[in-house]
Structure 1
Amino acid sequence: MLRDLTLLQFRSHRRAQLVFDGRPVALYGPNGAGKTSVIEAVSLLSPGRGLRRASAEELIRRQEAVGWKIRATLDENEIETSALPGQSRSVLIDDKPAPQVALGRLARVLWLVPSMDRLWIEGAEGRRRFLDRMTMAFVPAHAEAVVAYEKAMRERNRLLKEGVSDAAWYGALESQMAEAGAAIRVARVQTLARLAAAQAGAATAFPSADLAITGDDAGDLAAAWAGERRRDMAAGRTLEGPHRADLEAIYAEKATPAAQCSTGEQKALLISLLLANARALAGETCLLLLDEVAAHLDAGRRAALYDEICALGAQVMMTGTGAELFESLGARGQYWRVTEEGGMSTVTEVGP
């Protein structure tokens, strides 16, 4: 459970302190007040660049420009992540330096933000990132495998662009990529199986999705790369492998590809997958971040969403422009009003 959160010089927040009691959290206020920044800070309690994929420099509050810091108590662990101007972010766990990937073992952090509304109709990169975030929730070591794979691939791509023909050098890198790539493939397939099981028979108001991984043919990766070096050299990059995978979703009840569904159906599928992911993580520390999710649902669907959220073991944080969007959540939720004046955000706890 996330017990408390402190933001220092983060985005528009000079200082904000929030204490949580385990109930679903609703943050509301006008656009631009700093609501999303609060849940973005929570997303940085996991590996990576957070829900807005911002660089460490972009997170600094501009008025002082002295760097930013986030502190949190997660279960029994004290976490601090921060960055000074011009530096990458650092992580402390219980006052000891730690790599970002270590955060993935403490909590599973999932999110849905408005920019993901077009996930099913835009490029494969966003869907692959979505798949890997869900996979990391089940297999924290997945983050390390992805980092290892991408590091070796960047070096291989450098050799390709420079026209290097040293077979031994390529072989060593391709061996590293193959080892990490095999782990990535296995973890992704296991994730789809767990999501399918979590969707099967679930009492939910949201549609189920049949999922499949495409664009990454099974086979001997090292042998494939060795045989395609000439082609890859002409392209200046690695053309096959797990980094080319895509996530395909079918609206199960209608047997319709997600890309051909209505905007509302596409959104409902995303919500359904996040709920299934959280449901499958029962017993784990799971944080579910839903940015402006209520604004896209009618009153009935909002009420159904809140009922499902309250039935989950996950800790859920939501944002919205007004308290009325959370009316059907009632006393089951914990409420914070976010306001902004003169470039500084303020967060105040209020009653339902």
Structure 2
Amino acid sequence: MTKLNQQHSLLKIKLLNFRSYKEVELSLCNKHVVLCGPNGSGKTNFLEAISLLMPGKGLRSSKKEHFPYIEDHDQSIHNDWAIHYTLKRGENVHEISTGVQSLTTNTKSSRRYKFDGNFLKSKDISQLISMNWITPTMHNIINGSESLRRNFFDRMISALNPSHKNRLNKLEKLSRERTKLLEKNIKDESWFSIVEQEISQLSIAIIVERQNFTAKLDEFMASPNSSFFPKVRIIWSGMVEEWLNGKPAIYAEEKMGAYLEKERLDRSFSICGPSNSVLKIWFGDFGKPSELCSTGQQKSILVSIVLAYSKLLKNKKEFSPILLLDEATAHLDEEQFQAFFDESLINSSQIWMTGTDKYIFKKLEKSANLQYFVINDSNVTQLVDL
């Protein structure tokens, strides 16, 4: 039987030609790490490198062409870049690497993973690693666009279930192909019938997965451990969600198939489904929609969601997550940050934090041992004594 809730943490990380780092290596002696330094020194770049241990675009959702190191003196770009991790996973230590190696400067190469010397698919890596993060820009998720909210939740779901991401990609491809044929006025009833049935099945599966995920988050957020963080409710709404209300998935699939056929025959290119779902977040203590909350309340909502997701990762995956906190105190005051850190210690294997002032982390040492590094112009040195 698999032992649940084991710890996994980084023992070493080495960056080669990544972002602002030509080459840097950190060896760790304590589990929890503080990276401090002035704004623009390279702290977030380093945290982003850690986040790429997980498949995807990392904590900044960056395009892959932004990852290579650029020489300052001539602005030349190193197309090849790599990150090497030494990861302690339970009682075992593993060597993991990711990056891009191109044969020529014109070659477009995808990012690959190696695990203990063997190439591994990204979906397999995602099953071995558990990670969560919070950044200053994530505040926009609470009061930003619907697409931003959907993408945020889809990323969390995909980390737990890689097939969710596969369904999203396949749905996008089929929807794009259908739209192109409609624009060209091509009439192929048999093709449209097959594709619209598949679009319906994928859409319902995606929406059901979203609803199941947020229901699990709601369970954790209904009774927060700390009074600093509010109860939060998350509700999906939309045409398909209405079809699913109290009805089996097959009913919603048939309704959506009929809808797509009618829209096509009416020469309308509109489409319902996951890309039209509306996500409402409620500040539970006051029954207030998040967009009407104060900035402080919105930040508390975000922290509540991140904490609940860490609990869910711990509950569902073999290992408690590694937690990355960029500009850790940007969202919270001193008391809230201490409560957030203490709560995170319960549900995380390792915590990485960045900040401009190293002394703001001093009080956290009553809860855990911290290892400090100073970053200045992408040069990293260990700080022995505050």
Q: Could you state the TM-score of these two structures normalised by the residue count of structure 2?
A: 0.82
Report how far residue 8 of structure 1 moved.
0.8
- The answer for the alignment partner of 1:80 in structure 2 is 97
1:24–1:309 CA contact under 8 A, matched in 2: no
1:56–1:88 CA contact under 8 A, matched in 2: no
- The answer for the alignment partner of 1:322 in structure 2 is 357
Give distance in 2, aligned partners of 1:133 and 1:348: 33
Larger radius of gyration: 2
Corresponding pairs, count: 345
Q: Which moved more, 1:188-197 or 1:166-175?
A: 166-175
Q: Which moved more, 1:178-187 or 1:255-264?
A: 178-187
- Identical counterparts, % of pairs: 32
SS at match of 1:248: strand
Report how far residue 68 of structure 1 moved.
1.4
1:214–1:246 CA contact under 8 A, matched in 2: yes
Q: 1:111 to 1:157 in 2, by over 3 A?
A: farther
Given the alignment, which residue of 326, 334, 344 partners 2:371?
334
2:114–2:120 CA contact under 8 A, matched in 1: yes
* CA distances 1:143-169 after superposition (whole Å, capped 9, x unpaired): 222222222222223323333322222
- The answer for the alignment partner of 1:130 in structure 2 is 152
Q: 1:278 to 1:350 in 2, by over 3 A?
A: same
1:101–1:143 CA contact under 8 A, matched in 2: no
Give distance in 1, aligned partners of 2:169 and 2:29: 35
Give distance in 2, aligned partners of 1:57 and 1:135: 26
Given the alignment, which residue of 68, 92, 97 partners 2:81?
68
Instruction: Write the mapping of 1:116-265 to structure 2, written as runs, cut at 5 A.
Output: 116-204=138-226, 205-215=228-238, 216-217=240-241, 218=244, 219-220=252-253, 221-230=256-265, 234-235=268-269, 238-265=270-297
1:274 aligns with 2:306: yes
Q: Which moved more, 1:220-229 or 1:203-212?
A: 220-229
- The answer for the alignment partner of 1:347 in structure 2 is 380
Report how far residue 302 of structure 1 moved.
1.6
Report how far residue 11 of structure 1 moved.
0.4
- The answer for the alignment partner of 1:294 in structure 2 is 329
2:196–2:257 CA contact under 8 A, matched in 1: yes
* CA distances 1:270-322 after superposition (whole Å, capped 9, x unpaired): 11111111112226332222211313322111211221122223432221112
Given the alignment, which residue of 38, 51, 59 partners 2:59?
51
* Residue identity opposite 2:306 in structure 1: L
- The answer for the alignment partner of 1:24 in structure 2 is 32
Give distance in 1, aligned partners of 2:86 and 2:199: 36
Query: Once superposed, what is the RMSD of the aligned Cα atoms?
Result: 2.3
* CA distances 1:207-227 after superposition (whole Å, capped 9, x unpaired): 121111123433223333223
Give distance in 2, aligned partners of 1:253 and 1:60: 46
Give distance in 2, aligned partners of 1:226 and 1:161: 15
Q: Which moved more, 1:132-141 or 1:271-280?
A: 132-141
* CA distances 1:159-185 after superposition (whole Å, capped 9, x unpaired): 233333222222333333333323312
Q: 1:154 to 1:274 in 2, by over 3 A?
A: same
Give distance in 1, aligned partners of 2:312 and 2:35: 26
1:134–1:191 CA contact under 8 A, matched in 2: no
Give distance in 2, aligned partners of 1:264 and 1:203: 19
Q: 1:327 to 1:149 in 2, by over 3 A?
A: same
1:89 aligns with 2:110: yes
Given the alignment, which residue of 323, 341, 348 partners 1:306?
341
1:339–1:347 CA contact under 8 A, matched in 2: yes
- The answer for the alignment partner of 2:248 in structure 1 is none
Structure 2 unmatched runs, 5+: 1-7, 245-251
* Residue identity opposite 1:30 in structure 2: P
